[in-house]
Amino acid sequence: MLHDVDHPATAIPGNESSIVIVGAGQAGLSTAEKLRANGFVGSLTLIGDEADAPYQRPPLSKAYLLGELERDRLKLKAEDWYAKNRIALRLGTRVASIDRGRRRVCLADGGMLAYDRLVLATGATARKLPQAISRGLAGIFTIRTLADIDALRPALETRGKLLVIGGGYIGLEIAAVARGLGMTVDVVEATDRPLARVASAETARAVEDLHRSRGVTFHLGRAVSELLGADRVTGARLGDGTIIAADVVVAGIGGMPQTTLAAEAGFAIDNGIAADAYGRTGDPFIWAAGDCANFSLPGGALRMESVGNAIDSADLVARNIMGARQPYKPKPWFWSDQFDLKLQIAGLSRPGDTVVVRQGAGPGRSHWYYRQGQFVAVDGLNAPRDYLVGKRLLAVSASPDPAQVADPVLTLEALASSK
């Protein structure tokens, strides 16, 4: 379809055209910005179901929760930016359905918007604890939106006992913040190590050691069977019968792509909204970007929840709507701040990859991953130079000699010129 020049969906939208973007997170905002940057002059509407104008999510679980970053500074754009760029921003607005036949979206408040191109940037939501476990108690939080954090902050001000359910990035970042505030922190993780699905065993162990050294208590290989309390949560019972006291519970048990709207519109859902390598869904007038999109790429399907993916896939979709015809070449990268650790990851490592440790002169170190002899990913643990060199090598598919990587005497400058 992308190369069918006679199909109306392949025409470049002009000044009579209307583009509607569902989702006003980083991906939705970036799509709008890049459509304008790529010369789209028609009508542009950005619809978000949250009350706040597009804002940065990553600082929510870090600097904003700590009170180091004011609410106003989370905003990605100044208020007048939307009018200046002729972007109609509709906040607090939920899209109820998509009428693909008539090419219009129906809003929950009864309104309707016609589109020539529709971009689904619906993001992901925080998975909630099952009712059988949470029992409707007060004092249980998830972490995803500004409203979530605004609700959590007063609860942390009690400086009591925090129970984190789930040892992923969100859970560990909250654990680190809470320890910094002087709270007692327990982390329950169902698998045998934190970051089990999102980092290598080597990196996870280093992060676990750091948390333990700062007084975080881990309960690994165990699940919460029930939260305790009458109205407010007072603790948790684990599967092995252990009771943990808690004043506040944060469930960091993963994100789920927001696919309800797409599913009801008849799209196949498989770990997100299926999109081709250009970002287009099965409907040639409808595109997908960001956390909710599962891109079909030569190496397999890829869905990522990260700012980098939100920005890059939004850029891709905007260009391709404007006729660029470029396939997605993802450059996966992530970071996390916990205590004084800055973890930076480039590439996607997998269980079974060979790990090479590079121990620098300072306290930092890096983990380099190889699959069938090819360099595939790097983790920098307080090692920004190692991380950036690795990221640069990944971008050109270079594969440094593992023996050289492990050699602390060999400089990064020398490593950077690897083939």
Give contact residues for other proteins (rule: CB under 8 A).
Answer: 33, 37, 56, 58-59, 62, 73, 76-78, 81, 85, 307-308, 311, 333, 335, 337, 342, 344, 382, 384-385, 388-389, 392, 412, 416
Nearer to other proteins, 115 or 333 (CB): 333
SS (HEC) of 373-415 = CEEEEEEEECCHHHHHHHHHHHHCCCCCCHHHHHCCCCCHHHH
Q: How far is the CB of 159 from other proteins (least distance, A)?
A: 26
Nearer to other proteins, 265 or 310 (CB): 310
- Taking the C-alpha atoms of residue 197 and residue 195, their distance in angstroms, rounded to an integer, is 6
Euclidean distance between the first and the last CA atom of the chain, given in angstroms as a whole number = 38
Nearer to other proteins, 193 or 392 (CB): 392
The encoded tokens of residue 363 equal: 């306290």
Nearer to other proteins, 36 or 100 (CB): 36
Q: How far is the CB of 244 from other proteins (least distance, A)?
A: 32
Q: How far is the CB of 326 from other proteins (least distance, A)?
A: 17
Q: How far is the CB of 361 from other proteins (least distance, A)?
A: 12
Nearer to other proteins, 158 or 417 (CB): 417
Nearer to other proteins, 135 or 342 (CB): 342
The encoded tokens of residue 260 equal: 């309800």
Q: How far is the CB of 296 from other proteins (least distance, A)?
A: 24
Nearer to other proteins, 36 or 127 (CB): 36
Q: How far is the CB of 302 from other proteins (least distance, A)?
A: 18
Nearer to other proteins, 266 or 384 (CB): 384
The encoded tokens of residue 340 equal: 């004084």
- Taking the C-alpha atoms of residue 203 and residue 200, their distance in angstroms, rounded to an integer, is 5
Q: How far is the CB of 183 from other proteins (least distance, A)?
A: 23
Q: How far is the CB of 179 from other proteins (least distance, A)?
A: 19
Q: Pick from 292, 264, 288: which is nearest to 276 by CA?
A: 288
